[in-house]
């Protein structure tokens, strides 16, 4: 059973990596090590089997196994959102039911993609999934699956079990409008790591993103500085995080996140093909770039990397 109301799911929430071993099998031991690292650094929740988690390289059984492994290990210490998105509604319903049984606190989904689905098709997709379980649904608006316009989002938000939106776009004026329009109990999560501070400024209840796997502590400082009204410090930290992210995005994403975890002393395992796995020699230029950012900005926060 779930442990948290959706209105309690706030703050810095990593979009979790799925951890594989050298032979591309799920690695439960390394998964738990990464979770312990995130728990130790005050992550406020977990978002499982999403795009950062390479969910579309996984079988249904693997996605379900990952959900069970994480929920059992977290054991109610933090809320867990399970991404159940797929092209087929029937598959997503099956994933949603398993997430509910495993003890998830909420489900989430990208809209159906690949084919050009109509707005009615997309609305029906969310209606059918959200009505299949007694869990809050967090709609996921992201360009990779096709951005839904504000009108469609408001229509979907009227469904009984739809209680939130993960908004991965830079148009924070629209995100802020939706938060104002849909009310304080309709949860909005900003999904652009490089615009986390902007997300908070425009009313986001929390942030869900990929780089929170490796620098959750920096983003907790951004949030805390914002909440305390220390905007100069929040801006400094966001600019530093952005330079770090831009340096990393010169490499295949999310492959490089696994290497970044290793540089923090955490065994982040491997990713599954067709994503590449970098050897350390492949990333010497990235190490130099991070050192340069750290030294130029006086960013002691980046001392956490063993480079």
CATH number at 165 reads: 3.20.20.70
Is the predicted pLDDT of residue 142 greater than 70, yes or no? no
Residue 5 makes CB contacts below 8 A (sequence gap 6+) with: none
**Which of the four pLDDT bands, split at 50, 70 and 90, describes residue 226?**
very high
Residue 22, domain extent: 6-220+261-272
pTM score, whole prediction: 0.96
Q: Judge contact between 208 and 13, C-beta under 8 A.
A: yes
Q: For the chain, what is the largest distance between any 2 Cα atoms, rounded to a whole number of angstroms?
A: 53
Residue 162 covered by a domain: yes
Residue 18 covered by a domain: yes
Q: What's the number of domains the chain is made of?
A: 1
Residue 290 covered by a domain: no
Residue 228 covered by a domain: no
Q: Judge contact between 252 and 276, C-beta under 8 A.
A: yes
* H or E stretch at 202: none
**b/e per residue 62-92 (b: at least 16 CB within 10 A):** bbbebbbbbbeebeeebbbbbbbbbbebeeb
**Which of the four pLDDT bands, split at 50, 70 and 90, describes residue 48?**
very high
Q: What angle do CA 143, 78, 242 make, to 5 degrees?
A: 40
Average pLDDT across the chain, whole number: 95
Residue 294 covered by a domain: no
Q: Judge contact between 178 and 154, C-beta under 8 A.
A: yes
Query: Taken in order 57, 62, 68, 70, is the CA torsion positive or negative?
Result: negative
Residue 17 covered by a domain: yes
**What digits encode the pLDDT tens for the residues 163-195?**
999 998 888 988 999 999 999 999 999 999 999
Residue 212 covered by a domain: yes
Tallying the residues shown for the chain, one arrives at 307
Can you tell me the mean pLDDT for 206-228? 98
């Amino acid at each position: 059973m779930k442990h948290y109301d959706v209105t309690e799911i706030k703050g810095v929430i990593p979009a979790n990596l799925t951890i594989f071993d050298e032979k591309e099998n799920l690695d439960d031991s390394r998964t738990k090590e990464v979770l312990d690292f995130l728990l130790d650094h005050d992550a406020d929740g977990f978002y499982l089997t999403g795009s950062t988690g390479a969910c579309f390289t996984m079988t249904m059984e693997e996605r379900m196994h990952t959900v069970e492994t994480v929920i059992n290990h977290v054991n109610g210490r933090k809320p867990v959102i399970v991404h159940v998105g797929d092209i087929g509604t029937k598959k997503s319903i099956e994933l949603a039911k398993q997430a509910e049984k495993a003890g998830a606190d909420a489900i989430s989904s990208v809209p159906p993609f690949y084919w050009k689905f109509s707005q009615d098709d997309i609305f029906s997709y969310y209606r059918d999934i959200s009505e299949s379980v007694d869990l809050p649904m967090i709609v996921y608006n992201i360009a990779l699956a096709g951005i839904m316009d504000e009108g469609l989002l408001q229509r979907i938000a009227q469904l009984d079990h739809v209680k939130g939106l993960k908004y991965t776009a830079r148009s924070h004026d629209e995100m802020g409008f939706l938060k104002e329009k849909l009310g304080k109990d309709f949860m909005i999560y900003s999904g652009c790591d490089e615009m986390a501070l902007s997300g908070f400024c425009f009313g986001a209840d929390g942030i869900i993103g990929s780089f929170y796997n490796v620098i959750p502590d920096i983003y907790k400082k951004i949030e805390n500085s914002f909440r305390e009204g220390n905007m100069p410090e929040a801006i400094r930290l966001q600019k530093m995080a952005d330079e770090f992210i831009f340096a990393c995005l010169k490499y295949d994403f999310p492959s490089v996140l696994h290497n970044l975890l290793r540089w923090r002393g955490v065994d982040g395992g491997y990713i599954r093909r067709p994503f590449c796995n970098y050897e350390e020699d492949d990333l010497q230029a990235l190490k130099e770039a991070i050192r340069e950012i750290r030294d130029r900005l006086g960013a002691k926060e980046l001392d956490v990397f063993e480079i």
